[in-house]
């Protein structure tokens, strides 16, 4: 399941990058769209000022009508193309539920003004950042260098027995979970479900001794292999028990 999931994350990242590029292109075309609308309105105003009782008005009216129709056609074509992109972006956005929690996807969709390319771009940037966080936590990735290290390698203290180092490492890992525990208890008080908790926790520290420690919280929760273990850890945090 894990390789298939990370393949989906990669595909979604590529999809979001392409949509963001197109959104930027539509933002650059806003002056063009405004200009076409202005030309259409001017042609409509000229057509409306023609009085049918004037001699020879038929020829002038025909020219005005032709100009107006052409400008309407140009504006409508571009406007429909923009609408098609907005519709595609909205539909593609829904496909993110394959890698993100559905509630999060729906919440992000509800915050977007799909008629505004800038709003679409902002939403895409937010999702891209979220996916990048997940991508950096995929199995096989080296963790970021810890404080006080050089080139990601911590100088070894030869005066400290190795067994004590392992105990110290575990203690440090549990200390990192204290912030997570506080957040979990707060979300529990607010009535959040385990699924919603994991969505909010994202890539925050995971239990250092857990088999799913290399997976983000929501990914581990959705994995049948680790689902029960994640629920158990959350329950222990709710009751302030850090194992």
Same domain? For 11 and 127 the reply is yes
What's the whole-model pTM score?
0.59
SS3 60: helix
Of the pLDDT bands very low, low, confident and very high (cuts 50, 70, 90), residue 175 is: low
Q: Flag the least confident range among 7-16, 138-147, 155-164.
A: 155-164
What is the reported pLDDT for 155?
Answer: 42
Q: Which residue range(s) make up the domain with 96?
A: 2-135
Q: Residues 193-202: what's their mean pLDDT?
A: 84
Same domain? For 7 and 95 the reply is yes
Same domain? For 81 and 189 the reply is no
Specify if 234 maps to a domain.
Answer: yes
Specify if 148 maps to a domain.
Answer: no
Same domain? For 178 and 81 the reply is no
Same domain? For 84 and 13 the reply is yes
Specify if 156 maps to a domain.
Answer: no
Q: Which of 205, 198, 202 is nearest to 146 (CA)?
A: 205
Q: Flag the least confident range among 33-47, 52-66, 88-102.
A: 52-66
What is the reported pLDDT for 176?
Answer: 60
Q: Residues 222-240: what's their mean pLDDT?
A: 86
Give me the phi and psi of 150, to 5 degrees please.
-120, 115
Q: Please count the structural domains in the chain.
A: 2
Same domain? For 50 and 112 the reply is yes
Last residue of a domain, one of 113, 135, 157: 135
Specify if 124 maps to a domain.
Answer: yes
Of the pLDDT bands very low, low, confident and very high (cuts 50, 70, 90), residue 210 is: confident
Same domain? For 119 and 51 the reply is yes
Specify if 93 maps to a domain.
Answer: yes
Crossing angle of helices 117-135 and 57-94, in 10° steps, is: 20
Same domain? For 101 and 191 the reply is no
Same domain? For 115 and 19 the reply is yes
d(CA 234, CA 59): 79
Specify if 142 maps to a domain.
Answer: no
d(CA 123, CA 191): 27
Of the pLDDT bands very low, low, confident and very high (cuts 50, 70, 90), residue 140 is: low
In this predicted structure, the answer to whether residue 124 has a pLDDT above a threshold of 90 is: yes
What is the reported pLDDT for 179?
Answer: 76
Last residue of a domain, one of 88, 118, 135: 135
Specify if 140 maps to a domain.
Answer: no
Q: Which two tokens stand for residue 132?
A: 């990048």
Mean pLDDT (the chain, rounded):
79
Same domain? For 11 and 90 the reply is yes
Same domain? For 124 and 176 the reply is no
Same domain? For 202 and 94 the reply is no
Specify if 214 maps to a domain.
Answer: yes
d(CA 187, CA 202): 14
């Amino acid at each position: 399941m894990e390789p298939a999931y990370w393949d989906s994350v990669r595909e979604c990242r590529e999809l979001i990058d392409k949509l963001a590029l197109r959104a930027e292109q539509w933002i650059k075309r806003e002056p063009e769209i405004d200009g076409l609308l202005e030309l259409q309105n001017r042609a409509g105003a000229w057509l409306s000022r023609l009085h049918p009782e004037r001699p020879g008005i038929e020829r002038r009216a025909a020219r005005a009508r032709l100009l107006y129709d052409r400008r309407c056609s140009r504006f409508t074509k571009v406007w429909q193309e923009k609408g098609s992109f907005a519709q595609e972006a909205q539909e593609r956005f829904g496909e993110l539920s394959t890698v993100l929690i559905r509630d999060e996807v729906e919440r992000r969709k509800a915050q977007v003004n799909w008629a505004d390319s800038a709003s679409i771009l902002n939403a895409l940037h937010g999702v891209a950042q979220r996916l990048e966080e997940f991508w950096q936590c995929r199995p096989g990735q080296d963790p970021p260098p810890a404080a006080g290290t050089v080139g990601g390698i911590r100088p070894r203290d030869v005066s400290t027995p190795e067994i004590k180092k392992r105990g110290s490492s575990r203690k440090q890992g549990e200390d990192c979970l204290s912030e997570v525990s506080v957040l979990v208890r707060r979300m529990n008080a607010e009535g959040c479900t385990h699924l919603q908790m994991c969505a909010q926790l994202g890539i925050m520290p995971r239990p250092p001794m857990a088999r799913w420690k290399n997976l983000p919280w929501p990914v581990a929760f959705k994995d049948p292999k680790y689902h029960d273990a994640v629920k158990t850890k959350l329950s222990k945090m709710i009751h302030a028990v850090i194992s």
